[in-house]
Structure 1
Amino acid sequence: MSGTPIRVKKDGGILEVTLDLPKANAIDWATSRIMGDVFTEFRDDPTLGVAIITRAGAKFFCAGWDLKAGAERDTVDGDYGKGGFGRMQELRGLNKPVIAAINGICCGGGLELALSADIILAADNATFALPEIHSGNLADAACIKLPRRIPYYVAMEMLFTGRWMDAAEAKHWGLFNHIYPMAELVDKTRKMAELLAAGRPLVYAAIKEAVRETEDMKFLDAMNRVIKSQLESVEVLYGSEDQREGARAFAERRNPVWKGR
């Protein structure tokens, strides 16, 4: 997508999505719609198995919502596009792994986007905050997601005060998976993506749908829904060619060959 604020690269089943909106990678209405289209295509393309989202530029991973666009709301249509703000948060059926590689300042809606990923890797220079409180705004997605990711009282302090966390503290509270030196982040992210891209697409889909659809259910209700194949991706998995191949490969002591069907 040359000439747009989003750079896209496809390589061996991996989709790399790079935010390129100088100076702060703040997302406006048009960019959000582009991202929605990009991740919808990723969801629907059987040749793509995993996505990486990262940034260009020297300082910001993503500053979140473009406040200038918000100030001009009366003059625009206010349409975030498919999947809501920035694509992933509300995009139905996104049952493929998404990795966020945080290389810089990750704040506001940028942190909400990162929380929409399945795996978060961060460079040691990454910093995190929810500064919406200072502009009289609500970090709506973060209010829902953050207390489920890190301790409640830590999440509430971030929401109430807008204070910043460095990478070491954020890792301590479990905000992301791994922390790497900045020079190693790209390579580590790529290796994680290659591992997932070579994996089990039908199982990944079943895992994501099971986690998403049972998040607020009681344990026994959730188990019943999963084991009785009441989830579409779980039903597809059970009885699939891939499931039979996995069993055969285990019995024959060889690596399975996944076909995604």
Structure 2
Amino acid sequence: MRDYEYLDLEQRGLVTWVRLNRPERLNALSTEIQKDLIEAVTALEADDSSRVIVLATTSAKAFSVGADLKEVPSGGWVDPMRAVTRNVYEAVFECRKPTIAAVRGWAVGGGMELAMACDMRLAAADAQFRMPEGRVGMAANFGSQMLPRLVPWAHAFDILYRGETFGADHAERIGLVSEVCPVDLLDARVGEIAEVISTRAPLSLRRFKAMIQQGSSLPVSAALRLDPGPSPYLSKDRVEGAAAFKEKREPRWTGE
């Protein structure tokens, strides 16, 4: 793993922690930090020694406050999907490995979108969420698509229309996060969950992710016929899993 100016990477076994590291700006998503994230996530996706990616923060105050409104992009603002570079939220969302967001402090605008790009979100009790784009004339391009996929429409509209702050308990109540932890226990709890996930069959996890992402908007009959290979059913890992179960030992996954 190479060093990044605005990211702090740490590998713990088969889990890699990617911490946003721009605390003086509350991890505002400058062009450079977005480039670092895209590069790091893309590299980890191809790294067989890392099976789970955790997005977290070095700041005690914020996961990320979103777009760096003090930065004027070269060439001015453009619609997100018309830019020539890859979108950071897409890079995280499309990563084929399990991703978990460990949210503490502020998760605002693009910071909240970054958390929503992950497969799972756990929040510290001090987490504060807000989508303020309607207040500043932005559009929450990614968030407007992800929110109604994660929470009921009425909550999605409320979050986007009003742009008000809500806490971790409300986020858990509406299903935006799966669990709320005491601040000092967040990393330990996320690490515990990530470690368990890292012991599961890699091809099965990849299949689960693809089936959920691609099939959730399809009729069940169509979704069942998706075949986002490689197929776990035809893999060496399926044979290994059965053998390990029979022999009462831990499986040795190869991802093949």
Pair 1:60-2:62 in alignment: yes
Cα offset, 1:90, TM superposition? 5.5
Q: Deviations over 1:84-140 (max 9, x none)?
A: 13563454xx21111100011001011111011111111000010101111111011
Specify the code of the residue in structure 1 equivalent to 2:115. A
Equivalent position of 1:45 in the other structure: 47
2:91 to 65, 88, 93: 88
* Closer/same/farther in 2, CA of residues 123 and 80 from structure 1, 3 Å limit: farther
> Counterparts of 1:178-189 in structure 2 under 5 Å?
178-189=179-190
* Closer/same/farther in 2, CA of residues 90 and 115 from structure 1, 3 Å limit: closer
Cα offset, 1:178, TM superposition? 0.7
Q: Matched residue of 2:53: which SS?
A: strand
Pair 1:247-2:250 in alignment: no
CA distance in 1, matches of 2:143, 2:33: 20
Pair 1:210-2:205 in alignment: no
Cα offset, 1:250, TM superposition? 2.7
Specify the code of the residue in structure 2 equivalent to 1:63. V
Equivalent position of 1:256 in the other structure: 251
Equivalent position of 1:16 in the other structure: 17
User: What TM-score, normalized by structure 1, do the two folds share?
Assistant: 0.89
* Closer/same/farther in 2, CA of residues 186 and 80 from structure 1, 3 Å limit: farther
* Closer/same/farther in 2, CA of residues 49 and 185 from structure 1, 3 Å limit: same
CA distance in 1, matches of 2:187, 2:93: 27
CA distance in 1, matches of 2:14, 2:208: 19
Specify the code of the residue in structure 1 equivalent to 2:59. G
> Counterparts of 1:20-169 in structure 2 under 5 Å?
20-21=21-22, 22-69=24-71, 71-74=72-75, 81-82=85-86, 84-86=87-89, 88-89=91-92, 91=94, 94-169=95-170
Specify the code of the residue in structure 1 equivalent to 2:108. C
- Where structure 1 has 5 or more consecutive residues not aligned to the other structure, the ranges are none
CA distance in 2, matches of 1:3, 1:115: 23
Equivalent position of 1:232 in the other structure: 229
RMSD between aligned residues = 2.0
Q: Is residue 112–residue 130 contact of structure 2 (8 Å, CA) maintained in 1?
A: yes
Q: Matched residue of 2:250: which SS?
A: coil
Q: Matched residue of 1:42: which SS?
A: helix
Cα offset, 1:75, TM superposition? 6.3
* Closer/same/farther in 2, CA of residues 3 and 148 from structure 1, 3 Å limit: closer
Cα offset, 1:152, TM superposition? 0.7
Q: Matched residue of 2:25: which SS?
A: coil
Specify the code of the residue in structure 2 equivalent to 1:198. T
Cα offset, 1:215, TM superposition? 2.6
- Where structure 2 has 5 or more consecutive residues not aligned to the other structure, the ranges are none
Specify the code of the residue in structure 2 equivalent to 1:47. S
Cα offset, 1:76, TM superposition? 9.2
Cα offset, 1:81, TM superposition? 4.2
Specify the code of the residue in structure 2 equivalent to 1:107. V
Cα offset, 1:33, TM superposition? 1.2
Q: Is residue 35–residue 86 contact of structure 1 (8 Å, CA) maintained in 2?
A: no
User: What TM-score, normalized by structure 2, do the two folds share?
Assistant: 0.91
Q: Matched residue of 1:16: which SS?
A: strand
CA distance in 2, matches of 1:3, 1:149: 31
